[in-house]
Amino acid sequence: MTNKENQNFTALDEYLRKVGNTFFRWRSYIPLLLIPLLILKLHDLQRTFTNPYIEIIYQALCLVISFTGELVRILTIGFVSSGTSGRNTKAQRATTLNTTGIYSITRNPLYLGNYLMILGISLFSRSWEIIFINSIFFLIFYVPIILTEENFLLGKFGNIFSEYSSKAPCFFPRFRLWTSSENRWSWGMVVRREYSSLLSLALSYVFVAHLRLYVIGKEITYSKAWLIFGSVFLSMWVIVRILRLFRKL
């Protein structure tokens, strides 16, 4: 590699790190990009199945996909080691390298969970354009984040991370590689970290469902089932907030 090529490579590497760190700090807000997409594709939301049973099955399938993503996140966080990157937004951190449990089958289980959550909501919108655009957005935003995180881990753990990354796939899980987690399960960790995500996911479905009802009926209407669905998760969120306020959780 010539000096000029080496300089160009270094400049590109630095640029990707800068972009990745920026996206890393704002990664919790990336799903909000779905809102303007829904507004732009409102006419697609009126698509529905003529058979009501198929319609119910389709909506349930979307929920299963999204909550499978949340389950992946829960299984990741429940066994996570202390001192590893969670919801921190200022900088990368890792005192240990997670290589067992769900990390044994994919190096980025949290982002896999995020994609499944977004995919379910995108399918729920009935717009193939939204599904495609959200997938592209996911690549644009999360690939630099993953590259930045893995570059940090390589610098932190060296050959240990290199050996790990040569076995575990970056994103799509390879289930035959599964090994049980070395860490103990913590329900407290799950509740503290994921109660807001669960509420956000539930309210996203409630919002899109009522937006669809408005587009289909051309008037503001309410779905009792979806309101109850959202109220359950809102009640759970309030209970957790109260417990955390009184330092009981």
The answer to whether residue 46 is domain-embedded is yes
The CA distance from 141 to 97, in Å, is: 23
Answer whether residue 209 is part of any domain: no
pTM beyond 0.75: the answer is: yes
The answer for residues whose C-beta is within 8 angstroms of residue 178's C-beta and 6 or more apart is 104, 105
pLDDT band for position 18 (50/70/90)?
Answer: low
- Domain assignment present for residue 94? The answer is yes
Residue 58, pLDDT > 60, answer: yes
What local confidence, expressed as pLDDT, does residue 10 receive? 43
**What was the pLDDT predicted at 150?**
87
B/e letters for 50-75, b = 16+ CB within 10 Å, e = fewer, are eeeeeeeebbeebbebbbbbbebbbb
**Would residue 50 count as lying in a domain?**
yes
* Domain that includes residue 43, residue range: 3-76+83-184
Distance CA 102, CA 173 (A): 9
Query: Tell me, what's the pLDDT at 231?
Result: 97
pLDDT of the residue at 45:
80
Does any domain span residue 114? yes
User: Which pLDDT does position 116 carry in this prediction?
Assistant: 95
Assess if residue 133 is contained within a domain: yes
Residue 220 in any domain: the answer is no
Residue 69 pLDDT level (bands cut at 50, 70, 90): very high
Q: For the segment 149-196, what is each residue's pLDDT rounded down to a tens digit?
A: 888 888 889 999 999 999 999 999 999 999 998 888 999 999 999 999
Structural domains in the chain (count): 1
CA distance 180 to 17: 32
Residue showing tokens 């729920």 = 124
With respect to residue 224, please indicate whether it lies within any of the assigned structural domains.
no
Q: Average pLDDT of 32-37?
A: 68
* 90: CATH: 1.20.120.1630
